[in-house]
Structure 1
Amino acid sequence: MHKSEKEKQISKMIQFILTESQEKSEEIKLKAEEEFSMEKNNLVQEERFRIIKEFERKMKQVDVQKKIAQSNLINQSRLKILEAKYECVEDILRIAHQKIIKLSDNKEKYKEILKELILQGLHKIREPKVLLQCRECDLEIVKSIIDDTVKEFMKVAKMNCIVTVLEKDFLLPPPEKGSNKPSCCGGVVLNTPNGRIVCTNTLDYRLLLSFEGLLPEIRGLLFDLDQEQEN
């Protein structure tokens, strides 16, 4: 084989190799680009999915926080309403208390009240011997009515009864204006000598009993009226 033919053969082989390598290179390049594109799409999709999930999580978190805030506001509003209602009820009790303080100002009327309170206490206790406590300022009034009151009780109860008015052991004094000291608006406390039976019949105690008994009705009148006005 001549030199020129060899050179031609070598040139063809070189050209073939170059062409083949170029094709392989293009094929590898295309495959790499395809894989890159697929990987990029996967990463984009994953990131997109992550962002959507994060957004949904934050939206749920915002929604939960909003609900918590609304619930707190509702609870605070309810507490304020309850406090206002409580204060309103307490105001009624204070007004009633101020009224019973003045009951002893009318001596004749207060004397009748004391008699009824003593009679009621005696009927509750129904014992032959009773000790009676009153305020020091009421001592003279009590002493002036005790005999007739006991006779009236014995006539109705058909039993004998001796009532001893305590002249050293008194109930608390009347309320003083502008003072928060413990006090008593009037009335009596009756008990047996052994202390086993006690009947508290003070005006303060009777007011609390009446107030507690009427509390549902008071609340109904006050707060049902409020609801009607709102509607």
Structure 2
Amino acid sequence: MGNSGSTNKISAQDKAILDMKNQRDKLHQYQKRITVITDRELAVAKECLKRGDEKKAKLALRRKKYQESLLAKADAQLAQLEQLTHDVEFAQLQKDVMFGLQQGTQVLKEIHKEMGGVEQVEKLLEENAEARAYQEEISNMLANNLSNQDEDEVEDELEALEAELSGIDLPTAPANKIELTDAQKAEIAKERAKKRARDRAAEQQQRELIPA
């Protein structure tokens, strides 16, 4: 009886480890493939800024951020599962492991949907009705899938791209430069956060005004 129980326990653990390995291999494949897409999205963002179209540039960067966040989420889940599957109390944690594997599969499905190819990225540059509908669809989807931190990071990347394309070289701080106090830095960060919150609210209001 004891031997039979031990065999079943090992079998379940081995299967979980195999499933995890398969997910990890698939994630690595997706990471390589999606890099081509995110590189193109960055190039599209720059091209849009050169045209003076900041809205589309931001959309390209938001889509890029979403894809990167999916990969990071899947990678973090798999790292956690790897620890669980090697835990000596695997039998007690088996439900958590199985649930984690199911979540990992769902995230990989979402990543797979983002593997539509570079041709979808090109739609961000187009002006026809089909492209505009696609851009609106992507914008609405991202509004529900990017955190405020993600949106802030997109804003930072957009500002960096604008500076790069404007030919602005950030100078090295002089030795006698007056450093801002922590309170001043916090106040600046607070004001930037308020502005970004207002911008997001305005975008959300605009989306709600557009008929479905």
Length-normalised TM-score, structure 2: 0.28
* Higher share in strand: 1
* Higher share in helix: 2
